[in-house]
Amino acid sequence: MDFAEAIKKEGERRRFSPRTIEAYQSCLEVFFRQNNKPINEITKKDVRDFLDNLIEKGKAGGTIHVYLNALKFYFEECLGRKFRLDIKYCKKPLRLPEVLTKEEIGGIINAIRNPKHKLMISLLYGAGLRVSELLNLKVGQINLDNKYGFIRHGKGNKDRIFILPDKIILDLKELILIEKLSNEDYLFLTNRRERYSARTIAEIIKKACRSTGIKRKIHPHTMRHSFATHLIENGSSVSEVQSLLGHKSPETTMIYVHLAKPNMLKVKSPLDSL
């Protein structure tokens, strides 16, 4: 079995996203193009030399880690090789994500004219979902009476609970009733009864941003960043936000504390106490 097929098979078994599988396949293609050796003769040194070469070419830390993770996954998980690739490389510099204000979120949502599109973006922000989670959400995964839902096999193949905003409960009930959706149906379907694409979600947000005069580069994931930041501003604890976002580590969630407005966090300058 070639490396591309091995990664695809093992990746799908572990419910990796198609994008992750394609990225890993691309990384391995580059690696084997530069290391024309039989697989059983490849050593840790070959991997280290390959990664060091990428660094010399000026590749970003994040890119290096994608290559490292792809190589680890293939050799350790797909092939079951005994040696552990515990090579350490600096991570990409911390860059705070773009976050919208509550007023900007409200403007974007109100600028969307299509009711279903508006509902989709409202849920994307209001529940802090990833785009893939929104598109793969089935009717049976939400409990409208108790205002919560479940993500099944999310990032890292983890399950988690999410909250449903009061404002959209009636709209969701109406959608399910009008479109006669069963528990096994995806919650959001096009007129052709097909799932929406991530590109469509991005275009909806992009168009709404233009309508509201927002010129910054806003992605669907910006809604999730904004959701988390606004929860922190509203007084939710890091552990609560961590649970709702499905983060493995609280350190990942702590970034939203840095993004929250100081006055919302009731932080006073030390000058005030002088």
Q: Please report the pLDDT score of residue 20 as a whole number.
A: 85
In a domain, 143, yes or no: yes
Q: How many domains does the chain contain in total?
A: 2
Cross-strand pairs, 163? 148
Please pick, among 118, 224, 225, 230, the residue that the annotation labels catalytic. Answer: 224
In a domain, 128, yes or no: yes
pLDDT tens for the chain, 274 residues long, are 588 999 999 888 888 878 788 889 999 999 998 888 888 888 888 988 898 888 888 777 778 888 888 998 998 888 888 767 666 665 555 567 889 999 999 999 999 999 999 999 999 999 999 999 999 999 999 999 999 999 876 666 678 899 999 999 999 999 999 999 999 999 999 999 999 999 999 999 999 999 999 999 999 999 999 999 999 888 888 888 888 888 877 767 877 877 776 655 555 555 456 4
Please pick, among 24, 125, 186, 256, the residue that the annotation labels catalytic. Answer: 256
In a domain, 267, yes or no: no
**End residue of a domain, out of 78, 110, 135:** 78
In which domain, by residue range, is 44 found?
A: 3-78
Residues 68 and 114 in one domain: no
Q: Extract the tokens encoding 114.
A: 């299509």
Domain of 49: which CATH number? 1.10.150.130
Note if 247 is an active site residue: yes
In a domain, 224, yes or no: yes
Q: How many C-beta neighbours within 10 Å does residue 139 have? A: 19
Whole-Å CA distances, 185 to 121, 180, 228, 235: 19, 9, 28, 36
Residues 239 and 190 in one domain: yes
Note if 130 is an active site residue: yes
**End residue of a domain, out of 63, 78, 93:** 78
Q: How many C-beta neighbours within 10 Å does residue 135 have? A: 19
Distance CA 11, CA 22 (A): 10
Please pick, among 8, 118, 225, 247, the residue that the annotation labels catalytic. Answer: 247
Domain of 239: which CATH number? 1.10.443.10
Note if 196 is an active site residue: no
Please pick, among 8, 118, 130, 230, the residue that the annotation labels catalytic. Answer: 130
Please pick, among 155, 186, 196, 225, the residue that the annotation labels catalytic. Answer: 155
Residues 41 and 107 in one domain: no
Spell out the alpha helix ranges (H) of the chain. 3-13, 18-34, 44-56, 61-72, 102-111, 115-126, 131-135, 169-178, 198-212, 220-233, 238-245, 250-253, 255-259
In a domain, 273, yes or no: no
Distance CA 104, CA 155 (A): 28
Q: How many C-beta neighbours within 10 Å does residue 87 have? A: 14
Residues 140 and 248 in one domain: yes
Residues 72 and 128 in one domain: no
